[in-house]
Amino acid sequence: GFATTPTMRKLRLIWVTSRMHIEIYKYPAWGDVVEIETWCQGEGRIGTRRDWIIKDLATGEVIGRATSKWVMMNQDTRKLQRVSDEVREEYLVFCPRTPRLAFPEEDNGSVKKIPKLEEPADYSRSELVPRRADLDMNQHVNNVTYIGWVLESMPQEIIDTHELQTITLDYRRECQHNDMVDSLTSLELADDYSTNGSAIGKQHKKEHPSLFAFLEIVQHWT
């Protein structure tokens, strides 16, 4: 993720993930040593990004890449906020001077729009509840937990016979400790499996629960 800066702490500002795209070309085996390179850089006036490249240390082969986009939020109001010049100057000193992308190719998977999940979904897992261990320092559910929730609604035969190769996540709304989540998945058969999923939240009220999407996700299994 991103560290905080003196100005961010003073104004009670935090970074939150808005989108993440991960591609794994080869899974490490037991005993393999991997090298992970990561860097951050500015992304317009309202956010920033962090990229990763994963290599097999012995061969130098790139076995995975990832990119993410982050936006700034006020910790008290939970509203998004533009990145000020003062904050930008504080963190850009740690960024490469020349822009660099983990996915430099045009029309790569990291920029493709996630198709809407049509309901009813093929598979579902209902009433998943965040644990305290799932919360990060900003008191919302961490990114890894969302991926775990979506995998809960994946059919077991896909998990047993395929490997997850790519995953794209669009974060729509933060999930907090008192929320309840339904995980929905539908399959699209191609040369191999593609899946489209969502983590749908429920906030219980006395009369009717309100429904909203925390996360939209697309996966590619080979």
Taking alpha carbons only, the member of 63, 61, 59, 79 closest to residue 71 is 79
In 48-200, alpha helices (H)? 85-92, 143-152, 156-161
Integer angstrom CA distances of residue 217 from 135, 185, 214: 20, 9, 10
In which region does residue 78 sit, left (phi positive, over 0), alpha (psi from -120 to 50) or beta (all else)? left
Residues assigned a catalytic role: 138, 140, 175
In this structure, the dihedral spanned by the alpha carbons of residues 21, 103, 38 and 131, taken in order and rounded to 10 degrees, is 0
CA distance 171 to 210: 18
Residue 115 CB: number of other CB atoms within 10 A? 12
Check: CB of residue 130 under 8 Å from CB of residue 180: no
Q: How do 193-203 and 164-171 pair as beta strands?
A: unpaired
